[in-house]
Structure 1
Amino acid sequence: MKGKSTGAKRRKYDASFKDEVLKMIHNGRPVSEVAQSLGIGENLIYKWKSRTNSSQQPAIVGKGDNAGSPEDQQALLKRIRELETERDILKKALGIFSRQT
């Protein structure tokens, strides 16, 4: 038996649409609100978000040719990784210290 035939087709989203959705999330809008307003599933947005976070080189937003040299971009990426590590450590410490004993 081959795959199920439910009659519903999968919708495909282009990269620019995904980027716009992720920008909305990054700007503070709740995932549930964005998903409902666009008619897409929350899980799909979380999947896009995790794929973006797990990529080796996050996109650096720049203004055309003024985005900086590759060395500047590498330095920014290194600083981003350092800040993310510091944030994760602080989150863990907060969890440890806020435990009720």
Structure 2
Amino acid sequence: MRVYDKDFREEAIKLSYEIGPTKASEQLGIPITTLYTWRGKVKKHGAIAFVGSGHPRLDPKTAEMRALEKKIRELESANDILKKALAFFAESQKK
């Protein structure tokens, strides 16, 4: 099985819309079924159709939610550190 990179797939799809899928598959030396599969993925998933190996396909809202959740965890961690520092300095002021 041959592996095609993302750029090749995107260019092949563009070419297939310009000159037709049959001519594009012949010109590029790829099976027409492969080309139709790629076109279907682009139709279904849009810009996130071809993700790298091992990377989940996330819609933009899901990706944004994950980024915001990560930011929340970081801020909560920073707040915990500040609370501990405040307690330490408050204890030292009592002495």
Q: TM-score range by the shorter chain?
A: 0.3 to 0.5
In the superposition, the TM-score normalised over structure 2's length comes to: 0.47
